[in-house]
Amino acid sequence: YQYLSRYKQKENLDQFTFLPDRIEGTERECLACLMEFCGRKDPSWTEISNFTHFLNFQLRKCEKSVFCSPVVGREFHGF
């Protein structure tokens, strides 16, 4: 949700760091955001669950990537 809400507001995600202990938004806002980005008109709970698992997996990989690190990331803006 932290990434998606910032993406929706067109914030620069290159400078953002996910903080698992930070609570943002309400449950209703989170669900609405997930449903918006899920890619399905009326997603089931399973589809939302699969979407969030896939998104979390991809974001963890991105956060660990050398290309997205603060030092190298400056050369690959928006990568």
Note down pLDDT in tens along the chain; length 79 residues: 999 999 999 988 877 878 788 888 999 999 999 999 998 889 999 999 999 999 999 988 888 887 776 666 566 666 5
- Look at the chain and report how many structural domains it folds into: 1
Containing domain of residue 17, as a range?
1-75
At 30 the pLDDT is 93
Contact 51, 34 (CB under 8 A): yes
The pTM score is 0.74
Contact 8, 32 (CB under 8 A): no
Rg (CA), the chain: 14
Q: In whole angstroms, what is the distance from residue 70 CA to residue 77 CA?
A: 10
Q: Which amino acid is at 47?
A: E
